[in-house]
Amino acid sequence: MKKTLILLLICAMILPGCAQSPGGTSDTALTAVTESELETTVLSDNLPEADYEGYSFRMLIRNDKGWIEDMYAEELNGDIMNDAIFLRNAAVGERFGVSFEVIPSSNANYDNDGVKSILANEDAYDIIIPHARASFDYALQELLLDWNTDLPFVDLDKPWWDQDIRESLRINYKLLMMIGDISYKNLGATNAMLFNKNLFDDLGLDYPYQLVHDDAWTFDKLVEYAEMGTIDINGDGKIAFADDQIGYVTDEWIGPIQVLYSGNQRIVQKDDNDLPYLSLNTNLTIEIFNAFFALIDGDAGHCAPWEGLDTSIASADGIYGRFTNNQALFLDTNIRGTIFLRNMDANFGIVPWPKFDETIDKYYSNVDAGCNLIIVPITAGDPERTSIIIEGLSAEGYKNVTPAYFEVALATKYARDEESADMLDIVKAGRIYDLGYYNNALSVFNSIGQYMFTTKNRDFASLYAKNEKNANKNLDKTIEAYGG
């Protein structure tokens, strides 16, 4: 396939009128560019010329279609994201003379299958894309290359690399895992909040968009709306999730985790020597958790145990079912959850999770730690080649894949209004990766809100006092593994 043909295929994928939905209408509204302009855009990453003569670039990925499709597509099939990934890989493959090989791991969730081969000094994989928390299984055994020093053609200053993860997950100035526009699934793993427009209209409430723009969308405002949106539908004098309308619904892996970041708090922060320390135990943290659990333990809120995303969506009794059935005013979700609501009859809008109060500088959005991270094993045979390929993939992702996902699949096709597209820009700008949340070594602290929910223990102070010593011990082991 010639380079020009690849560029034209990309053009056909993203330009108005070229990519058609099953009904024959365009799924995009992006601005057209000429082929020469497109070529300049695609090749603006400053990578050197290289021809690897058909080398098979090996990627160990969780054995699940939902994660594999983040990095690989077998062929064009008309699906927006499948075709965007296929064309990205085709462009990089043609440019550098490589093909792409997926090596599925043993399971679809938390896995560390690559550890054994690395310890055996086998050059089995060029990159590994594990569950984000599993990446620390490799890091703590010192099995990974440093993105700052070992991958010469990765330019972390480029806009296709996420700067919060670059800062947050670096320890002792070593960065052993990274992500950016090489993965559209990470954008999908970002927390946001949906609201039911029909119920807002019934209540005579203004949509919260202007509050967001005015920096006045706060947790107290959410509680106010949630209380107004909680209604005893069956008239039995009590509020029950199964029977009535609830103001705010979430599950154990979103609300209880996200609320901490609404106050710009972190489980772990770093000192002047780039070494992590526990930063969780603050008065604001206590205030945040007290307010959140007061909401979900009362009538106006409901937090559901996690049963799997598909189960929650398919079940009329789940939080997605209640939202689509006009029995919930607000719903927490990862951004990807919006695509499962495309057949919802009622209109919905998207907003960032609220600030805890107006003193917080921005709307922070946690990225679920079940997302993808990219790690490079120390046994990778040619780090220079690896760096060129992953830089090329991320650059192409930034220019073509992320716009397809963010601007087309979300903002145009599934979200119901232009304001929601603006909200998604705010959500994306506020993404955070807390080292304490991503590193499993911190025991109960890495998911402290979820732990408080499942154990029904709302006493943060006692939990912290009980677990601080062990967490610090494990944090010291992490620092030691990073040479600190």
**Could you tell me the residue ranges of all domains in the chain?**
51-187+370-418, 191-366+439-481
What's the pLDDT at 148? 97
Distance CA 417, CA 425 (A): 14
CATH number of 191-366+439-481: 3.40.190.10
Closest CA to 370 of 67, 163, 145, 82: 67
| 30 has pLDDT over 90 | no
Q: What pLDDT does 48 receive?
A: 95
Task: Report the pLDDT value the prediction gives residue 31, as an integer from 0 to 100.
Answer: 31
How confident is the model at residue 314, as a pLDDT? Answer: 58
User: Percent of the chain scored above 70 by pLDDT?
Assistant: 89
* C-beta separation of 372 from 179 below 8 A: yes
The architecture that CATH gives domain 51-187+370-418 is: 3-Layer(aba) Sandwich (3.40)
CA distance 451 to 256: 9
453-470 per-position pLDDT tens digit: 999 999 999 999 999 999
Domains 51-187+370-418 and 191-366+439-481 agree in fold: yes
Beta bridge partners of 196: 348
Rounded to two decimals, what is the model's pTM?
Answer: 0.87
pLDDT of residue 413: 76
**Range with the poorest average pLDDT among 303-317, 326-340, 387-401:** 303-317
- What does the pLDDT look like over 6-22, one tens digit per residue? 433 433 333 333 332 22
Q: What's the average model confidence in pLDDT over 94-103? A: 98
Please list, residue by residue across 72-88, b when 16 or more beta carbons sit within 10 angstroms of its beta carbon and e when fewer do: bbeeeeeebbbbbbbbb
